[in-house]
A and B are shown apart, each in its own frame.
Chain A
Amino acid sequence: MFRLRPERLDCSALAQGLGGDPRVGGCVTFAGVVRNHNNGRAVERLEYEAYEVLAVAEGRRIVEEALEKFDVLCVECEHRVGLLEIGETAVWVGAAAAHRRAAFEACQYVIDELKVRVPIWKKEYYTDGGAEWVLCAHCSAAGPHSHPEHVHSA
């Protein structure tokens, strides 16, 4: 399941929810956290904005794909919207499987696809007073399945 949340993500409750199936032997979780710098600029806070209907639909598609591609029992993902302070969790992904490898792979698949496919945007507010919407035009132009192996946040 994929959800957007305007309030803080409860990572421990999310992680607990993953292990309910007695067949589970491994849980992998990823938390993307707001850091205080990006591309050499000091960041004070972030704002996430979503095209809600399509973001939820695409997020759910990605989770469904992970469930089909990997031998996992449960996949969950939540993403924040609104204003976030440094240290807050912006995105959380969890995967549970009988064996660890599938759980690692499913978790990585969901965060990688989310970053290039789900219509969510991030505005960085800098300590010097400026603010900018973060653009990775390179990824977008390349399309969701041919993006280069580079990382621009988290």
Chain B
Amino acid sequence: MKKTVLEIEVRYFAGMRERAGRDSEVVETAAGTPAELYAELRARHGFALEQAHLRVAVNDAFAKWETPLSPGDSVVYIPPVAGG
């Protein structure tokens, strides 16, 4: 069965922004979850961090890695934070 292709907006911050060379991008993907999408983006941009070192936000709220993605969702991968 053919997987549905979704348009997802991905925004990048800090080291991931620099590595990707952009603040954001709209990706067409067959990934159904933030975890599957990260595997694709990691291969494309060469992100060093493993998923276990990140958190993920969907539509500006912390989300689980296995949350199903919907068309037009906005995803942010959150590298280890360093405020304070």
Q: In whole angstroms, what is the CA distance A154 to B49 when docked?
A: 25
Give the A-B pair count, Cβ closer than 8 A: 89
A57 touching B60 by the CB < 8 A rule?
yes
Q: Tell me the interface secondary structure of chain B in the complex.
A: mixed
- Name the distance in Å between B36's Cβ and chain A's nearest Cβ: 20
Chain A: CB-nearest residue to B19: A133
Q: Which of A54, A57, A120 contacts B83 (CB 8 A)?
A: A120
A120 touching B81 by the CB < 8 A rule?
yes
Chain A: CB-nearest residue to B15: A133
Chain A hits for B54, CB < 8 A: 140
Is B43 at the interface (CB under 8 A from chain A)?
Answer: no
- Name the distance in Å between A61's Cβ and chain B's nearest Cβ: 10
B57 touching A54 by the CB < 8 A rule?
yes
